Amino acid sequence: MTRFSRLPILAGVLLAASLWLPPSAAQAQAAAAKAGLLTIDSLIDIKFPSSPVFAPDGRTIAFLWERAGVQEVWTVPAAGGAPVQVTHDSAGLMDALFWSPDGRTIYFARDGALWQVPGRGGAATRVWTGEDEGGGFAISPDGRAVAFTRQGDLYVRPLAGGAVRRLTRGPADASGPQWSPDGSRLLFTMAKETRHEDAPAFSGSKILFTRTETADGVVAVVPVRGGSVVPLAPGGGDAGSPSWIDRTHVVFQRISDDVHTRTIVVADVLTGHGRTVEQDVDPKWWDLLYVSSAPQPSPDGKWLAFLSDRDGWAHLYVVPVAGGAPVQVTRGHFEVDRPSWAPDSKRLIFDANVVNAPGRREIMMATLDKGRAPAAVDAITATGGTNTAAIWSPDASRIVFEHTDAHHPADLDSLAIAGRARPVPLTDSLPASVDRQALVAPRFVHYKAPDGTEVPAWLFVPATLDRSHSHPAIIWVHGDGINQNYDGWHIHRDYGVYYSFHQYLVQHGYVVLAVDYRGSIGYGRAWREAVFHDLGGKDFSDVAAGATYLKSLGFVDPQRIGIWGLSYGGFLTLQAVTETPTLFNCAVDVAGVEDWKDWYQDPGGAWIRGRMGRPQDNPDLYRRTSPIYRVDQIVRPLLVLAGTADVNVPFIESARLMDALLKAHKTVDFMMYPGEFHYFERAHVLRDAWQRVAAFFDAHLHPER
């Protein structure tokens, strides 16, 4: 089976026009600032930290701090202290952040090149000059060389300069190189990629859209000094997420083409042979692919940790590398994510949500009794909000993790394991222009769907709201179908910017309801899989029932309810305006899927195959669940936003939607953002999008000031 991604190619000049522009946006923002309310500029100034990595001595942490699509390298003492900005380049996004073994240099990748900067700060310089672009940079265990990919092949080069050694020559494209513990081999995934170019009739021949057809992945190794590529346990299905167990063995997982089966394989790099260690089979689809489900080998090479929802909830298990029965480490009506072994191979940290509080996550630690059974599973944070993505210091004395809550966007916290002192905040991402105490904490609520199912959601209502009057309300629909809302700021930057905008809406006269419809994570396997062969069915009924719930509150005007969503949430927004044309007064679709057959072609992959099968096998299902075929039903105002560089829901889908709407004689507001991706990042895009959405809702829902 294959999967696709797409990038728009501008063959000529790509133009799109906005059919509607926000009036007096600057005046409105000035008035808001004068009144002490959130402004869109203050939202843009909220920063998001990511990619923390300990220095080799464990005393300092390097991390990336992003503001509006621009990341810089920062450092901060691991025990707490003032963060120090290391780079000052204002040159976009970075990745592949790592330290030199002596802790003196920090490396990072930007624009396809590897850069270096002194750990104490200074000018950033390219490691090598005159080189073509590359990616996937990984430093060798001895710190002397770097592996990377370039145009689908694998290379190694000394950091100090010297000859570049090419290790692969197609035909498959290599990605994700990892050094063996002894530095003698590289582990990677390879998959053949085929480029296609499309020029649909509705967009004309001047605009070409490319999509990349990617075959099933194969895990392989190659000697660093050069030699033959050794595929590991090749077989049917998509292999990926590999890790070294020791210098001669690796582990990876394989997903069957029908997405029913996940198999964990241990392979010998000397022979290429593999054996199955563990397997999950689901009659609907294996639904943990897009969480941290990859098997994690213990540092001593004896155990594998993995996630499974075989008991109905995503829980942590361990199994001996040599084979044997798995041991379930966690149990209960909560879900585990992001496990990480301690260097001593006796402890695992992970984050998990809380029984009856699915939007709250705490850092947990499991101490294992020789791997056979958990001696203890304890919460090592109890701060509320969300605590996620913990990493160990080199000596396992400390962890660093991400914290969010109703008054704090994503920040890094540090916690000493001994004595379990309170976490120490390392960053403060909220700008001084934002009054933290004025932010509204969402309240966890439930309401009934038409079939009687209790639907969880998060209600944003200011404490000072005059409940004797009716107010406009907006339903927010999150994306992915592999996501959820949280007890405060979203844990991911991509949705954190939307959470901040909801705070803006609340301060400007709106009630907001964020729905965790069927298909969301955090509520167990049955909730996740309730959308099997039913995209836009039960999940949309959950969203639509949110309007009934809002009307029942007594302080929401039934005639002033809007809806908006991103990605899959954009799809459900399109369901709203085509399935229930008069339920909402207006709607905003941000990069929503209009036709699942289009999305199956690009980007496609296991997400859609698991939920819907193939369009040639289920043509009626694909047509029934796609709003493009019902746009003639739209009667309420609709705003559509999309970026031309979107690879999650390619821009061509929004272009086709616009074509269908105009042919159906519908008036629609549309704005495209040249070069912008699925999750809006850059300041000028965020400013225009938020002003446009705010003015659109104001025009059609008329909030009181």
Residues 270-320: tens digit of each pLDDT: 999 999 999 999 999 999 988 888 999 999 999 999 999 999 999 999 999
Rounded Cα gap, residues 132 and 150, in angstroms: 8
Q: What is the pLDDT of residue 231?
A: 97
Q: How confident is the model at residue 30 (pLDDT cuts 50, 70, 90)?
A: low
Here the tokens at position 172 are 């498959």
Write phi, then psi, for 692 (nearest 5 degrees): -65, -45
Q: How confident is the model at residue 383 (pLDDT cuts 50, 70, 90)?
A: confident
Rounded Cα gap, residues 364 and 390, in angstroms: 10
**Percent with pLDDT over 70 in the chain:** 94
Mean pLDDT over residues 161-171, rounded?
91
Kindly report which listed range (25-29, 600-604, 688-692) carries the lowest average pLDDT score: 25-29
Q: What is the pLDDT of residue 384?
A: 87
Kindly report which listed range (480-484, 577-581, 696-700) carries the lowest average pLDDT score: 480-484
* Residue 403 one-letter amino acid: H
Kindly report which listed range (415-429, 614-628, 652-666) carries the lowest average pLDDT score: 415-429
| Cβ neighbours of residue 8 closer than 8 Å, sequence gap 6 or more | 14, 207, 209, 210, 644, 645, 650, 651, 652
Q: What is the pLDDT of residue 28?
A: 65
Give, in order, the Cα–Cα distances in Å from 84 to each of 44, 175, 431, 553.
21, 33, 16, 48
pLDDT higher than 80, residue 47:
yes
Q: What is the pLDDT of residue 161?
A: 82
Q: How confident is the model at residue 257 (pLDDT cuts 50, 70, 90)?
A: very high
pLDDT higher than 50, residue 2:
no
Q: What is the pLDDT of residue 11?
A: 29
Rounded Cα gap, residues 42 and 374, in angstroms: 47
| Cβ neighbours of residue 686 closer than 8 Å, sequence gap 6 or more | 40, 43, 44, 68, 497, 680
Q: What is the pLDDT of residue 301?
A: 96
Cβ burial, residue 484 (10 Å; 0-12/13-18/19+): buried
pLDDT higher than 50, residue 10:
no
Q: What is the pLDDT of residue 276?
A: 97
Kindly report which listed range (152-156, 442-446, 464-468, 528-532) carries the lowest average pLDDT score: 464-468
Contact predicate 238/606, CB 8 Å: yes
Partners of 274 in the β-ladder: 267
Ramachandran region, residue 143 (left: φ > 0; alpha: ψ -120 to 50; beta: rest): left
Chain center to CA of 372: 33
Q: What is the pLDDT of residue 616?
A: 96
Ramachandran region, residue 204 (left: φ > 0; alpha: ψ -120 to 50; beta: rest): left
Give, in order, the Cα–Cα distances in Å from 162 to each of 101, 272, 416.
20, 31, 42
Q: What is the pLDDT of residue 170?
A: 86
Q: What is the pLDDT of residue 537?
A: 96
pTM of the model: 0.93
Q: What is the pLDDT of residue 1?
A: 39
Q: What is the pLDDT of residue 13?
A: 28
Q: What is the pLDDT of residue 374?
A: 67
Q: What is the pLDDT of residue 369?
A: 80
Rounded Cα gap, residues 338 and 402, in angstroms: 12
Rounded Cα gap, residues 664 and 654, in angstroms: 15
Rounded Cα gap, residues 501 and 409, in angstroms: 12
Contact predicate 72/89, CB 8 Å: yes
Mean pLDDT over residues 624-634, rounded?
97
Tell me: the pLDDT tens digits for 97-145? 999 999 999 999 999 999 999 998 889 999 998 777 799 999 999 999 9
pLDDT higher than 80, residue 3:
no
Q: Considering only CA atoms, which of 477, 356, 341 is closest in space to residue 396?
A: 341
Rounded Cα gap, residues 487 and 491, in angstroms: 10
Q: How confident is the model at residue 481 (pLDDT cuts 50, 70, 90)?
A: confident
Q: What is the pLDDT of residue 705?
A: 54
Q: How confident is the model at residue 375 (pLDDT cuts 50, 70, 90)?
A: confident
Q: How confident is the model at residue 58 (pLDDT cuts 50, 70, 90)?
A: very high
Tell me: the pLDDT tens digits for 511-539? 999 999 999 999 999 999 999 999 999 99
Q: What is the pLDDT of residue 19?
A: 42
Q: How confident is the model at residue 205 (pLDDT cuts 50, 70, 90)?
A: confident
pLDDT higher than 70, residue 5:
no
Q: How confident is the model at residue 463 (pLDDT cuts 50, 70, 90)?
A: confident
pLDDT higher than 60, residue 16:
no
Here the tokens at position 620 are 């009626």
Nearest-10 crossing angle of helices 568-579, 538-552:
70
How confident is the prediction for the chain on average, in pLDDT?
A: 92
Q: What is the pLDDT of residue 116?
A: 95
Q: How confident is the model at residue 508 (pLDDT cuts 50, 70, 90)?
A: very high
How crowded is residue 337: how many other Cβ atoms within 10 Å of its Cβ?
21
Rounded Cα gap, residues 415 and 387, in angstroms: 11
Q: What is the pLDDT of residue 289?
A: 86
How crowded is residue 647: how many other Cβ atoms within 10 Å of its Cβ?
18
